[in-house]
A = this chain, B = another copy of it.
């Protein structure tokens, strides 16, 4: 335990500093300060030793030299045991605490400052003091964050003006993380000034997951330092902790509905939407989404973009006496839930209920790690480029439905195809999809198969089922994430009764694909924008 006798305070952000310094003074601690800080403290009636009295030097060169000196850094760095005699011979008196936050480089950078201003806002003395004090954490406390003041004052009060070694160690970690972040931003900014891209990340607040993607892999979830906005901040309201795969699926779920207008609901398996609907009523969009793949929907992640109400979640029949009627899902995620919806969801012990803030999850860059390298790109946030009908038949594709279909296919793993329709009541529904295939033909076939099964399920028994399916297939639009390399997909679509196709175009063989569509009287739109996603 080291009794706090002298503290050096030199802060750029003066939040809370008067109260903190006043409290230190009450503990009998001498306060040493630099010009700006000194003025603020003295105006509040706190006695302050001018740092020049300690260093023996003036504040020089427009403030570039204030603290750096043999006297200050010695006072922070010397070993209180081994070096005690040497310090006394050199007239060095220990400083037991540094309170310092750095010139606001991040702030001026965010304001778009030019190079001279950026350079002037690189703090030299501050990091030197912080790093010296942190290195000597066994004797010195390093305070970089005004948010730490209250807890430190409490500890000082409880321990008669001392701080524990554990606290000093923790302050040291914070200080080195702070200087690391500070220089990381300077380095990145200076590279940027030179027209070079460099990327630095820091993540902490690690949560150990039960395991990674599989039980034999260790897994963690970490929050990026220094960002306001993070997926890390989602709230688990109910159920056991989320797993690695839950996190990833849920990410896909939120991405699937984040920019849908109206009520939207997505059913997610392995980050791919296998059911999705938008429309006027929340319960109905859930039902339409579920119907998109009622087999895969079991054990899925279900996402909403609006506050979830009781009427919606009763769809899951969680208290059905006939257990086979209960619809088991892994996770339900939404911006909010009504109290009575939560009460109902809590009937299911293992169901994870998760809240996210849709206004805070702004898409960041999209990245992949491959063996110590980074693939780094802008997220795919657009929908379509130059839209044109390329076939003789120019169907009048509903604008909402087109938007809906493109947003879904953008979210599906490539090669991806989806079939979407607009119902008479105005709802849009995903009726089938195929994804993750080495061959586009597979995806088209998977999509058609799923649509046919769903259309069979909804057939009401009146009339001929084949006629029903054919008619309904004709009302769909089939959307592809990339061009069709050959006309074979058009053939398959035609055989299934599909009459409208949307694809980006751009193949060497576009002409033969268009010719085939014309031959089969299919209407086809080119959107001019591919949506590969791997």
The stretch of A146-154, A208-216, A454-462 that contacts the partner chain: A208-216
A534 interface hit (Cβ, 8 Å):
yes
Contact among B55, B127, B131, B533 with A213 in the assembled complex (CB-CB below 8 Å):
B533
Cβ proximity bits A283-319 to B, threshold 8 Å, 1 near / 0 not: 0000000000101100110000000000000000000
The stretch of A8-16, A25-33, A175-183, A394-402 that contacts the partner chain: A175-183
A68-B128, A436-B436 given; A180·B177 CB < 8 A: no
A162 interface hit (Cβ, 8 Å):
no
The stretch of A39-47, A71-79, A493-501 that contacts the partner chain: A71-79
A529 interface hit (Cβ, 8 Å):
yes
B residues near A293, Cβ cutoff 8 Å: 438-439
CB distance from A338 to the nearest CB of B (A): 26
Asked if A221 and B374 make an inter-chain contact with CB atoms under 8 angstroms apart, the answer reads: yes
Total copies of this chain within the assembly? 2
Cβ proximity bits A86-128 to B, threshold 8 Å, 1 near / 0 not: 1100100000000000000000000000000001001010011
Contact among B87, B172, B187, B436 with A435 in the assembled complex (CB-CB below 8 Å):
B436
The stretch of A245-253, A341-349, A510-518 that contacts the partner chain: A245-253
B residues near A73, Cβ cutoff 8 Å: 65, 68, 124
Asked if B439 and A295 make an inter-chain contact with CB atoms under 8 angstroms apart, the answer reads: yes
Asked if B375 and A244 make an inter-chain contact with CB atoms under 8 angstroms apart, the answer reads: yes
Nearest B residue to A201, CB-CB: B201
B residues near A295, Cβ cutoff 8 Å: 439, 441
Asked if B127 and A131 make an inter-chain contact with CB atoms under 8 angstroms apart, the answer reads: yes
Max chain B Cβ within 10 angstroms of own Cβ: one of A55, A64, A122: A64
Asked if B79 and A74 make an inter-chain contact with CB atoms under 8 angstroms apart, the answer reads: no
A36 interface hit (Cβ, 8 Å):
no
B residues near A438, Cβ cutoff 8 Å: 269-270, 272, 274, 293, 296, 300
Asked if B224 and A380 make an inter-chain contact with CB atoms under 8 angstroms apart, the answer reads: no
B residues near A270, Cβ cutoff 8 Å: 413-415, 436-438, 534
Cβ proximity bits A215-236 to B, threshold 8 Å, 1 near / 0 not: 1111111111001011110000
A53 interface hit (Cβ, 8 Å):
no
A62 interface hit (Cβ, 8 Å):
yes
B residues near A190, Cβ cutoff 8 Å: 169, 172-173, 176
Cβ proximity bits A358-389 to B, threshold 8 Å, 1 near / 0 not: 00011111111111111111111010010000
The stretch of A191-199, A329-337, A420-428, A467-475 that contacts the partner chain: A191-199
Asked if B436 and A413 make an inter-chain contact with CB atoms under 8 angstroms apart, the answer reads: yes
B residues near A69, Cβ cutoff 8 Å: 68-70
Q: List 14 A-B contacts (CB under 8 A).
A: A61-B86, A180-B183, A183-B183, A199-B203, A200-B203, A201-B374, A213-B380, A222-B374, A224-B372, A229-B371, A231-B372, A232-B372, A251-B370, A293-B439
- Known contacts A60-B74, A180-B184, A184-B202; 17 further A-B pairs (Cβ under 8 A): A57-B70, A119-B135, A127-B128, A169-B190, A173-B190, A180-B187, A196-B204, A198-B206, A201-B201, A216-B529, A217-B377, A220-B377, A221-B375, A230-B373, A232-B373, A269-B439, A365-B369
Interface residues of A (CB under 8 A from B): 55, 57-58, 60-62, 64-65, 68-70, 73-74, 77-79, 82-83, 86-87, 90, 119, 122, 124, 127-128, 131-132, 134-135, 137, 169-170, 172-173, 176-177, 179-180, 183-184, 186-187, 190-191, 194, 196-204, 206, 208-209, 212-224, 227, 229-232, 244-245, 247-248, 251, 269-272, 274, 293, 295-296, 299-300, 361-380, 382, 385, 413-415, 435-439, 441-442, 446, 485, 529-534
